[in-house]
Structure 1
Amino acid sequence: MSQHFQVLVIGGGTAGIMVSSMLKRKKSDLQIAIIEPAETHYYQPAWTLVGANTYNFEKTGRPMASLIPNGVSWIKEFAETFDPENNKVVTKNGTEFTYDYLVVVPGLKIAPELVEGLKDAMDKGVVCSNYTNPKHTWETLKNFKGGTALFTQPTTPIKCGGAPQKIMYLAEEHFSKAGVRDKTDVVFALPSGSIFGVKIIADTLMEVVDKKDINVRFFHKLVKVDADKKIAWYEIDKDLTAGGCVTIADGDEASLDRDIQYNYKDVKVTREGERYGIHFDMMHLAPPQQAPDFIRNSPLAAETGWISVDSKTMQHTKYSNIFSFGDASNLPTSKTGAAIRKQVPVAVANILKLIDSKSLSTKEYDGYTSCPLVTGYGKMVLAEFDYKKNFKPDPKLKQFPMLLNDSSKEHWRLWMLKKYGLPYLYWNKMMKGIEV
């Protein structure tokens, strides 16, 4: 015997709670249920600050029960299979639920197994990640006594594309305060050819890199982590037929490929065939990430494994009564809470219009997202942009007291927004279904 709801929501993360709250706020008689097994809901954007010892980890979590909106049923189970032809979802326990409308927002899965050796290395010794255990990140930074501090990220999409470099800027400042900076090389190895996808922001970040004397290595695809020997192995994702040495100067820095090396530091690198192994004394990384298995193996997924939706309406490309957004969707924008903040009102408007008149609303999502790029203790840049990678400051954020006109430059007021303003906005507005 299956239970029926008008709207069934998969996932109790940022997207799931916000969409349920907003739907309930706008149409109080809707029968809504959230399928979510977790007991605790985390405000993950603060984990960068936890990793740098400037935010209390305990304050980032709240009981899931305190966030489920009044009148919304909480099904404490794992969703497992989708039967969209029959408007049905089955949980791991075998419970069946049917729906008029389905909102699939389960977030994503951390997938260290996609890089050889990473599963065994994660969150142990000198390998740390704010994505999984920010408290261990702080222990690692605190215990670091100098050498090569390597910061890196994978080729997969990740939650908040800027997060792998935020902790690097904070760590560099901590090393200075701790008196170990002068015997430290800070290296940032990343798979793309630019430090950030929006030029005005990339220019600001390269100034930060210059100021902090950081070696950036572009086109570096992480393929293996050897935790025992403390080596991160990379393949270079760039056409190297032009000759010239790639990542090792071998005594002649003039031979380096400048597109790959910026502000070269002579850290120890071992070469084996086409692989380059950067030796590290500590490493922080964003692990590879992908859609959860039950999504990738479902009829809702695109070839990439992410849920296939229309980029403007959030409606599924095949099933008109299914919506998805946030981290699990294939929306071509950054996977951030700021994106969800703008996606939810569009999805809600469309679902309510469909219930009301079997048509979509005129509201469309333009790809807006933002990445609060912390560049030091008390400093931040706010990267806000749309699908076209245009820099696009949100006028609503300007309503915060003291906010400034140019968020593309470092400023202490933006740090205050990150540390105090955004968590307040999250818990008191977004989680309550208030459009912000």
Structure 2
Amino acid sequence: MSKTELDGHSAGKALPAFGSRAILGATVGNMLEFYDFITYSFFAVQIGHTFFPSHSEYASLMLSLATFGAGFVTRPIGGIVIGSYSDRVGRRPAMILSFVIMGFAIITLAVTPSYETIGIAAPIIVIVARMVQGFSLGGEVGPTTAYLMEAAEPGRRGLAVSWQPASQQIAATAGAFVGVVLSESMDSAALDAYGWRIAFLLGAVCLPFGLWMRSGLPETVHGAETDAAGIQAARKPIGVIRANARIIILALLILASGTINTYVTQYMTTYAENTLHIAADLAFATTVVGNGLGIAAALYGGWLSDRFGRWPVMVWPQLAALLLTYPVFLWIVDSRSAMALLGGFGLLSLVGSIPYSAFYVALTENLPKRIRGSAFATIYAVAIASFGGTAQLIVTWLIHATGNALAPAWYMLFAAAVGLGAMVMMPETAPVKTVQQEPSRSC
């Protein structure tokens, strides 16, 4: 029997009690956490005006984006602390812990007075709240992804785990949709003054529902399964890392690529407003359409990976995304039309979201169960902290320094090429493929 089967469920012993409610509970909590975290980027301009006033619009935006990036600094710490907690104590308590921490942080952000009201204390509070958000989200992804994989039948792991990236896209779509509604119903002064706070408070209102959903989830980690292995891993941490070094390095490269793609895409609202000088409602609508297509693509990618394997679903769509990026950006910048913005960014989101569902489940299946939560969370958080927190700053700087509106495409092309190279080297883990090589696998 393979390591994957030992660490997951065997084909004959999938847990029958784990059904749609378990997937929904994990996904809803994940979606709400990402909504709270991502929504900041949609209102970076307004938040900059509130907490970082400056005579220079560029300086105000850069300070706001730097604060957005501060949320990534603490994500590796959260990944290690809460991820390890999920391996030792269980996935459910870890997911509840991260959810509660996020709740406190989002409420703090929503009610902090402006710089004009309390002075320098305002940006300090906002930066601390963003760092707490980062800690929470860093500890959210690993346990949730591990839970989705462990709660699913082997033949449906890809679809189950695809709810992780899909829930992120749902969160981003919800945030952008709220932005469309607020920008349509308010003038710019009202949006600056209090409109962006409404978006955050909407996320806070939903927190009790997510907590209720998670509190009733069945557990997938049990002491008898992991105690001895956990003690051995604790005594020889270097050995565990060395044994999984190849997967860890490939995962870091792929997640770096995906992170840059994701956060540059999420930056498109600000990019459309500031660089292309598009109306705010169309800028938000672009993000809504792109993320909406990304949801369908993420779930479709997971479904495809269960039927055709993880490797082809990672590699071929990633290659297509690499080839499409520059022509699409060229079309958008040249025409600056609604069709180009909605169709172009929608196409990139559609194609670019498919590979990562297959990757998420491939990485989860490759990691031993005793370190799955902490390892996934730490790998993810390190990649996100290194490249997600800086992506929007780098793109803004590139546009400012070069004066070229195509600068985001250059950065995305480089990231896509690196990700494609790492995906090519990822091993196949899908049961539909590996069962043909190991016909006697059973527990």
Question: By the TM > 0.5 criterion, same fold?
Answer: no
Q: TM-score, normalised to structure 2's length?
A: 0.26
More strand by share: 1
* Greater RCO structure (CA 8 Å; 6+ sep): 2
Q: TM-score, normalised to structure 1's length?
A: 0.27
More helix by share: 2
Give the greater-gyration-radius structure (CA): 1
